[in-house]
Amino acid sequence: MAWVNDIIQGILIGGLYALFACGLSLMFGVMKVVNLAHGDLAIIGGYIAVGVIAVTHIPVLWSFVIVVPLMALLGYVLQRTVIQASLDRSILTTLLVTFGLSVVIENGLLEFVNADSHSLGVGNAIITSSFSIGSQITIPYLLLLIFAVAVVVLLGLQYFLSVSRYGRLIRAVADDKEAAQLSGIDYRHVFGIAAAIAFGTVALAGIAYGMYSQFSPTTGTDTILLFAFAAVVIGGLGSLWGTLLGGVVLGVAQAVGAQINSSDQLLAGYIVFLAVLVFRPQGLVARGAQS
């Protein structure tokens, strides 16, 4: 029964990983930008939440109301300036620039908020407790909540992309940005909107991580970015539901690895990641709409 419990925990933690991954997947799908600063930006979201909570005393669970719009704004501005400028040169330049951004953010955080770990104590008795099924299975409400948030975010994104006007423009620009220009569409603005949405999900990922665990200035690259990459690759680039599946597979692999030997948790996850890269490089869910 311990196995069943671990697998259930793994599935639920997969929701957190999917939250890490969906912004990365969206930015790659639309702009072809591999954002190496993705994890650090999530951590910035976490620190902004710490600051916002300290100043306004709003409950941790509601901090997203302020943090998500702030991060979305940051996303639009970064896309229209630094990222677009590097895209205009070449795709490879975006790798270098976002890597540089990552280094700057990490060292900036070390400089201004120090290297101590922070977390976002939920302070809600129900959320921090858990419930049991039988005697062996224990499910923390927090993980269930994060999983639900991930599903809602993915459903919302899916709905937005398929029916809204801007969603349609985002898909059109992702297909062929030159043809979009010929239809009068300023693809740079559409890229900005897509980045704003991606950064909004990044903010949620940062807050969720802060509620689940502790974070420090280096958590962005050594945990969030790597897990996000693994989830995206396992699930299949450009597929939102693949992202959730990828997160869940990664979570379960880690849980099973930990059950075998507690030091094998991360290794097991990366072995699955590598296996998918070798045997099914398009990911478990190949994007059907690819033209």
Partner 1 sequence: MSEPNGRGAPEASRRALLEVRDLTVHHGQLRALDHVSLQVFPGEVYAIIGANGAGKSTLLRTIAGLHQPTEGSIVYDGKDVTRVRPERRATSGVVMVPEGRRLFGSLTVEENLQVGATYARKGPWTIERVYELFGWMRERRNQRTAQLSGGEQQSVAIGRALVANPRMLLLDELSLGLAPVVVQRIYAMLPQILAAGLTVLLVEQDVSQALRVATHLQCLLEGHTTLEGRPSDVTPAQVEAAYFGLSGAAAAGPSGEGSQ
Q: How far is the CB of 277 from partner 1 (least distance, A)?
A: 25
Q: How far is the CB of 194 from partner 1 (least distance, A)?
A: 15
Name the residue nearer to partner 1 (CB basis): 192 or 206.
192
Name the residue nearer to partner 1 (CB basis): 179 or 271.
179
Distance between CA atoms of residues 102 and 40, nearest Å: 6
Question: What's the alpha-carbon Rg for the chain, to the nearest Å?
Answer: 19
Q: How far is the CB of 208 from partner 1 (least distance, A)?
A: 30
Name the residue nearer to partner 1 (CB basis): 116 or 178.
178
Distance between CA atoms of residues 29 and 235, nearest Å: 13
Q: How far is the CB of 187 from partner 1 (least distance, A)?
A: 8
Beta-carbon contacts of 45 under 8 Å, excluding residues fewer than 6 positions away, are 67, 71, 202, 203, 204, 205, 206, 207
Q: How far is the CB of 280 from partner 1 (least distance, A)?
A: 22
Number of C-beta neighbours around residue 170 at 10 A: 24
Name the residue nearer to partner 1 (CB basis): 176 or 222.
176
Number of C-beta neighbours around residue 184 at 10 A: 6
Distance between CA atoms of residues 127 and 157, nearest Å: 25
Distance between CA atoms of residues 44 and 250, nearest Å: 24
Name the residue nearer to partner 1 (CB basis): 36 or 285.
285
Name the residue nearer to partner 1 (CB basis): 47 or 187.
187
The residues of the shown chain that bind partner 1, judged by CB under 8 A, are 165, 168-169, 171-172, 174-176, 178-187, 289-291
Phi then psi for residue 283, to 5 deg, are 90, 165
Q: How far is the CB of 77 from partner 1 (least distance, A)?
A: 20
